[in-house]
Amino acid sequence: MRIVIVGGGQIGSSLARALAATHEVVVIDHAPHVADVFQSMDVEFLPGSGTSEEVLSRAGVQDCEFFVAATGLDEVNIVACALANRLGRPQTICLVSRAEFLDSSGEGGGLRAFGIDRVVWPEAQLASDIERIVTAPGAIDAEVFAGGIVRLLEYRLEAGSPLTATILGSLHLPRGSLIVAVKRGGRIFVPRGTTQLQAGDKVIVMGTPEAMHAVEALVHPGRAGGRLQVTIIGGGDVGFQLAEKLEQAPSLDLRVLESDPDRGAWLAAKLRRTLVLNGDGTDLEFLESENVGRSDVLVSVIDNDERNLLASLLGRQLGVPKVITRVGRNANLRLFERVGIDVAISARGAAVVSILHQITGGTTSLLAVVEHGEARVFELVVAPSFESRQLKDMGTSEDAIVAAILRGNRAVVPRGDDRINAGDRIVVFCTQAAADRVRQYFTRESS
Amino acid sequence: MRYSLVVHVCGVLVRLFGGMFLAPLSVALYYREYHDARGFAVAAFMTLAVGQLMRRAGGTSAEEAVERMRRVEGLAVVSASWLLIAHLAAVPYVWVGVGPIDALFESMSGLTTTGATVFRDFSAFGRGIFFWRSMTQWLGGMGVIALFVAVLPRLAIGGRELFFAEAPGPSEEKVSPQIRRTAALLWRLYAGLTLLLVVALWLAGLSLYDAVCHAMTTLAAGGFSPHPLSIGGYQNPAVEWIIIVFMFIAGANFALQYRALAKRDLNILAADEELRAYTAIVLVAAALLVLALGVGEGVVPTVRTALFQVLSILTTTGYASVDFQLWSEQAKMVLLVLMFIGGCAGSAAGGPKVVRHIVLARFTLQSLRRTLHPRAVLPVKLGGRVVPEPILQVVVVFFLFYLLVFSICAGIVVALGADIVTGLTATIASLGNIGPGFNQVGPMAHYGDLHPVSRVTLTLAMWIGRLEVLTVLVVLRPEVWRSGQWSAEGRHAARESLVGSPPAGA
């Protein structure tokens, strides 16, 4: 299908890269130097303005299915979507950078009048992603799928973790949970019963919510019931929204460090029970005087990569066990994690994932992208022509695993003797490289 | 400050008050108390004359005067007219033979809804006089000036300054953007509730006269009763329960009640922090009182007595269903603490008000937290909104002055021969507009045996307490007077007064 993207910035290019292989993608941007980025991709680049009808017509908006407006200017995005909607009938997705375009439920209510189907505010997306990770003790990534009946948690194993005691086959993990992947030394793979986990490994566990509670208790004992102290450095859009969301969990003690006094006063007025501290998150003396080292989680969401990194590393030095950092430039994501930050996460990345969810819908839908795109989680409906068979007959693979079978509103975490039938809804975990192969195997679609 | 304007507007208000004497006049005539009736007629005539004279003396046309009223002038008008009206309302008492100091005490105690009395022998007075006593409380409960703002179109604009000078809660609360309509709606609610209570008390067995008198003093959180033994004299549990409910209403914010009623939404009440705190205080205090009293006389009567007395003191009504002077010290202590709390802002109750206590408590807590986190941003919030710094300061200053006025008055009363408990409780009962205290001024006793100077002091304390301290104290500042001038035309003293704020409505 045809997808038109206006704006070739980070979000536009990430989207184009992810979609190029399977869809016709046209990118519109008025800056010619942006074109270089798209040279290496199998997409069409049109120089011009996204608010020009003529350019939009040339891009084939009339018969495209998705239209994404991802320039840096909110008003341009809105006008582009409105125009596209007049020229054809695409699903329009509009990126915004300010809260005023969203109504109280976080939807772009008022913008529907312009024919905009979905409003994406990357900062809000990021805030809700961080919220999930903060509230899962010990975990460095957390996702919820299929309306809450399947959860995913990612852990970094410490020395002495109960999971490193013996080979996987004799670990006796809680029923209904499954270790779907291990990341060791830059390589991600699906483990077997004979795999021995080691300290330093990252493991991804999936399962039903009840089982995942048991997993949390197993991997991170002693934390249950205690109060969790969360320190947020930076009270901008993300910091504020994160604090607002986290305030709803009663067992969290929240603090926001904000260097601008006026913004601090605004935050203190808006937030109910968060302690707002007026000071610089990169000031070691200040961090020490406020005992930031005693926090259970440190979230650094300043709008500046260098300062974020500094604040996070200071926090780590002071002994915070879990550090989550916002990254502006996607290229820095892996670097940040390599220097000791547990979770590096970007607003744009969060927005891209959310848009990809919507575009690659149909019988297969992308539920999550984990480890910065190295692995994916799909939900798919098994094709009618699929021959029913037991899992153990499918053979084991290093790069894909069926994580759950969805039956009604219950998830079954399968074992070797469970059957996959035609028409089943299943949740599959696979590496990036195996994604297309897995999809084809179950759905028998060519693309 | 322009005196001509103040004198003129006071004159307008006083003249209007003259009309109020018609009600007790008719009651006196109905009961064939012709001597008393003549007294009301004389008082009415004097009031009208004084009002007319002041109006004339002030000179300026009313529209002009009221439109250009500044805050300090509004405060001066309210302070002065309350004092004047109290004097004029005392005339009928003097007519029936009460000494001038006692007459003023009784009149001020009525208008400020205090309910403290200097009458020794209730049988010495007619029904007209007791009706007038109750009616002064009813007028003072929602505010005389609020009533005039509601009925007098000419006061519509400057009325804003007057309205908030008379009911100076920590925040300005209106039910309509128009002050005249706000005053009218609140008075209508107040009058409607009073009517409801009259019917309820009448059905519960009181005579119509008693029902009217008690309804007026209950809704006003006043506490005068034509019965020498107060509510206790009727020995009627139904009456006590009804009054418990209406005292609770009288001590709650009327503007809030109006909004809840107009929108038919009880959540407005449930969401209000002050009302919740007020309810909690009532319940906790009543529980403590039940514990202190013991349930020897049965659970229901004890609970009823405890609730009645807690509400009577907390809402500063001052009724007594029993002689609490005879209670244990522990039980009396509960009541003493309540005397320093008061009802909700925007109610008929006096005292420092619950909302100020909430703000002060949060301010204190935040100050404590600041020592732990020196760089924390710690706003004081009320109902989810930040209380601005200036209002916070005013609240703190209010408490300081309240305590200052309290200690000075109590000092005078004790120095002039009262015992300490009498002195302290008489002062807080006057300053908080409650009425009865302990010992010599207990619920079944009277203030008549205090030293005359003490009685004058307490009269002033009632006045200062009703106008919430700062209104009166601002007007007493010397710079207000030094910069004063007779009228706007006199240019020799055209400098703004230091406390002068921008013109009304700005």
The pLDDT tens digits of the residues spanning A164-203 come to: 778 877 777 888 888 888 888 778 888 887 888 888 888 8
Q: Are residues A22 and A111 in the same domain?
A: yes
Q: Is residue A116 part of a domain?
A: yes
CA atoms of A199 and B484, how far apart (whole Å): 84
High-pLDDT (> 90) share of chain A, %: 5
Using 50, 70 and 90 to split pLDDT, how confident is the model at B426? very high
CA atoms of A443 and A429, how far apart (whole Å): 15
A85, A120, A155 - which closes a domain: A120
High-pLDDT (> 70) share of chain B, %: 90
A303, A333, A350 - which closes a domain: A350
Is B375 close to A261, i.e. CB distance below 8 A? Answer: no
Q: What is the pLDDT of residue A109?
A: 66
CA atoms of B49 and B64, how far apart (whole Å): 23
The answer to which of A145-154, A394-403, B164-173, B328-337 has the lowest mean pLDDT is B164-173
Q: Which residues of A touch B (CB under 8 A)?
A: 258, 261, 264-265, 267-269, 272, 275-279, 286, 289-290
Which chain B residues touch A268 with a CB distance below 8 Å?
Answer: 377-379, 386
Using 50, 70 and 90 to split pLDDT, how confident is the model at B92? very high
Q: Are residues A323 and A435 in the same domain?
A: no
For chain A, state the CA radius of gyration: 23
Higher pLDDT, A103 or B230: B230
Does B496 have pLDDT greater than 70? no
Using 50, 70 and 90 to split pLDDT, how confident is the model at B209? very high
ipTM over 0.90? The verdict is: no
* CB contact at 8 A, A127 and A388: no
The pLDDT tens digits of the residues spanning A328-349 come to: 887 788 888 888 888 888 888 8
Average pLDDT over residues B123-151: 86
Q: Which helix (H) or strand (E) holds A155?
A: strand A150-156
Q: Are residues A316 and A421 in the same domain?
A: no
Into how many domains does chain A fold?
3
Residue of B nearest to A290 (CA): B373
Using 50, 70 and 90 to split pLDDT, how confident is the model at B208? very high
* CB contact at 8 A, B129 and B36: yes
Interface check for B365 against chain A (CB to CB < 8 A): the answer is: no
A297-300/A275-278 β-pairing: unpaired
Minimal CA–CA distance to B144: which of B161, B124, B166, B114? B166
DSSP B342-405: ---TTSS--SS-HHHHHHHHHHHHHHHHHHHSTTEE---EETTEEPPHHHHHHHHHHHHHHHHH
* Interacting residues of B123 by C-beta distance below 8 A, sequence separation 6+: none
Q: What is the pLDDT of residue B130?
A: 92
Is B375 close to A269, i.e. CB distance below 8 A? Answer: no
Does A444 have pLDDT greater than 80? no
Å between B283 CA and nearest CA of chain A: 27
CA atoms of A42 and A26, how far apart (whole Å): 10
In this structure, what DSSP letter does residue B56 have?
H
Q: What is the pLDDT of residue B499?
A: 37
Interface test with A, best of B365, B366, B375 (most A CBs within 10 A): B375
Alpha carbon B220 to chain centroid, angstroms: 8
The answer to which of A356-370, B66-80, B159-173, B203-217 has the lowest mean pLDDT is B159-173
Q: Is residue A217 part of a domain?
A: no
Q: A193: which 2 tokens?
A: 């019963």
Q: What is the pLDDT of residue B493?
A: 38
Average pLDDT over residues B450-459: 93
Round the average pLDDT of chain B to a whole number and report it: 85
Which chain A residues touch B385 with a CB distance below 8 Å?
Answer: 269
* CB contact at 8 A, A381 and A421: no
Q: A304: which 2 tokens?
A: 């500046």
Identify how many contiguous H helices and E strands chain A contains and give both numbers. Answer: 13, 24
Q: Are residues A320 and A406 in the same domain?
A: no
CA atoms of B77 and B8, how far apart (whole Å): 9
Q: Which helix (H) or strand (E) holds B111?
A: helix B100-111
CA atoms of B85 and B18, how far apart (whole Å): 9
Average pLDDT over residues A32-41: 81
Q: What is the pLDDT of residue B501?
A: 39
The parent domain of residue A420 ranges over: 351-443
Q: Is residue A369 part of a domain?
A: yes
Q: B407: which 2 tokens?
A: 């200690």
Does B505 have pLDDT greater than 50? no
A317, A350, A383 - which closes a domain: A350
* CB contact at 8 A, A434 and A400: yes
Measured on CA atoms in the order B463, B466, B467, B470, is the torsion positive or negative? Answer: positive
Interface check for B385 against chain A (CB to CB < 8 A): the answer is: yes
Q: What is the pLDDT of residue B277?
A: 94
Q: Which helix (H) or strand (E) holds B211?
A: helix B208-219
Q: Is B171 left (phi over 0), alpha (psi -120 to 50) or beta?
A: beta
Round the average pLDDT of chain A to a whole number and report it: 82
Specify the CATH number for the domain of residue A100. Answer: 3.40.50.720
Q: Is residue A171 part of a domain?
A: no
Q: Are residues A43 and A101 in the same domain?
A: yes
Name the residue among A268, A272, A279 with its Cβ closest to that of B378. Answer: A268
Q: List C-alpha distances in Å: A8 to A26, A72, B417.
A: 10, 10, 90
Q: Is residue A242 part of a domain?
A: yes
Q: What is the pLDDT of residue B186?
A: 87
Using 50, 70 and 90 to split pLDDT, how confident is the model at B346? confident
Name the residue among A269, A272, A277 with its Cβ closest to that of B376. Answer: A277
Q: What is the pLDDT of residue B364?
A: 92
Using 50, 70 and 90 to split pLDDT, how confident is the model at B157? low
Q: What is the pLDDT of residue B362?
A: 92
Average pLDDT over residues B72-78: 82
Name the residue among A269, A272, A275 with its Cβ closest to that of B376. Answer: A275
Q: What is the pLDDT of residue B142?
A: 83
Q: Is residue A157 part of a domain?
A: no
**B325: helix, strand or coil:** helix
Which chain B residues touch A277 with a CB distance below 8 Å?
Answer: 373, 375-377
Q: What is the pLDDT of residue B494?
A: 38
Name the residue among B375, B379, B381 with its Cβ closest to that of A265. Answer: B379
The pLDDT tens digits of the residues spanning B364-399 come to: 999 998 888 888 888 888 888 888 888 888 889 889
Q: What is the pLDDT of residue A106?
A: 58
High-pLDDT (> 90) share of chain B, %: 44
Minimal CA–CA distance to A220: which of A137, A341, A141? A137
Q: Are residues A378 and A309 in the same domain?
A: no
CA atoms of A166 and A197, how far apart (whole Å): 8
Is A275 close to B373, i.e. CB distance below 8 A? Answer: yes
Residue of A nearest to B380 (CA): A269
Q: Is residue A39 part of a domain?
A: yes
Q: What is the pLDDT of residue B173?
A: 66
Q: Are residues A357 and A425 in the same domain?
A: yes
Residue type, A258: E
Q: What is the pLDDT of residue A130?
A: 87
Q: Is residue A174 part of a domain?
A: no
Specify the CATH number for the domain of residue A387. Answer: 3.30.70.1450
* Residue in the block written with tokens 């619950």: B354
Q: Are residues A346 and A233 in the same domain?
A: yes
CA atoms of A27 and A37, how far apart (whole Å): 11
**A232: helix, strand or coil:** strand
Size of interface A-B (CB pairs under 8 A): 33
Residue type, A288: E
* CB contact at 8 A, B405 and B397: no
* Interacting residues of A183 by C-beta distance below 8 A, sequence separation 6+: A201, A202, A203, A204, A371, A374
Is A275 close to B379, i.e. CB distance below 8 A? Answer: no
Q: What is the pLDDT of residue B495?
A: 39
Q: Are residues A9 and A71 in the same domain?
A: yes
Interface check for B386 against chain A (CB to CB < 8 A): the answer is: yes
Q: Are residues A355 and A343 in the same domain?
A: no
Which chain A residues touch B381 with a CB distance below 8 Å?
Answer: 269
Q: Are residues A242 and A324 in the same domain?
A: yes
CA atoms of A148 and A142, how far apart (whole Å): 12
Higher pLDDT, A435 or B422: B422
Q: Are residues A422 and A341 in the same domain?
A: no
Identify the top-confidence range among A145-149, A216-220, A294-298, B420-424. Answer: B420-424
CA atoms of B162 and B151, how far apart (whole Å): 14
